[in-house]
Amino acid sequence: MKDRTDKFIDLTHSMTTDMPIFPGYPQPVIEPFLSHAQTRESGRYEGCSCQIDRVSFVSSTGTYMDAPAHFFEGGRDIAAYSPDELVMEAVVLDCRAGARAGEPLDIMSLLEGDAALALEDKALLLETGWSNFWGSPEYFNHPFLNSEAVDVIIGRKPRLVGIDALVIDDRGDKKRPAHTGFLGNGILIVENLANLDRIRNRAVEVFFIPLKIEGAGSLPVRAFSRAI
């Protein structure tokens, strides 16, 4: 069989019980509801057994997507998006040189210096390098977008903006300009991405696949890319 490991790239952090979580949120619970031992002893199986798991988490956990309903009452929720809306071409913007802990991303020169950077109806993925700190205290002191960069990005009309950091906004800014700006303009957000270095400077389409849960404003996704 042809090797497809370079054609499909996983952009998702695994969900674990000790993963980095937004401060104040509970850790995920992943545990057996019925173990193999219990199903073997149940009398309902012969020559086989199974495990049924119980998984509990808040919706903004791990690599997750924000829909407009996350910040706007009556906005589109996760379940309202059709599969074709969750698959799109991607542009990875290498922001590592302008990424500093706890400071706005210095990306204005990247955005304004390339007027030909076509983002309309695509996913703009911001590579800060912060996924390298996943699982360490440094991950929580992340770079973010300020309102000036948000306004410029909105003007380029992407369908989605993603980042390989904990949050796209400054957690100390109660106005949350990235969330209100992007979601208010119908632009989806994905946070806590991984492996953006593997698709930098490559032609890819990206897939962001959440469960279809009505009423959810945000949900974890399985994010991955496919070379095109």
pLDDT in tens, 24-81: 999 999 999 999 999 999 999 999 999 999 999 999 999 999 999 999 999 999 999 9
Do 38 and 136 fall within a single domain? no
Do 149 and 71 fall within a single domain? yes
Do 112 and 33 fall within a single domain? no
Rounded average pLDDT over 153-174: 97
Q: Record the pTM.
A: 0.95
User: Do 144 and 167 touch, CB atoms closer than 8 A?
Assistant: yes
**What range defines the domain where residue 33 resides?**
26-56
Q: Helical H runs in the chain?
A: 36-41, 108-112, 147-155, 177-184
Mean pLDDT rounded to a whole number for the chain: 95
What are the phi and psi torsion angles at 90 (to 5°)?
-125, 150
Cα(first)–Cα(last) distance of the chain, in Å? 19
What CATH number is associated with residue 203?
Answer: 3.50.30.50
Cα 218 from Cα 216, distance rounded (Å): 6
Q: pLDDT tens for residues 100-127?
A: 999 999 888 887 765 567 899 999 999 9
Do 116 and 33 fall within a single domain? no
Do 30 and 69 fall within a single domain? no
Do 48 and 154 fall within a single domain? no
Do 125 and 40 fall within a single domain? no
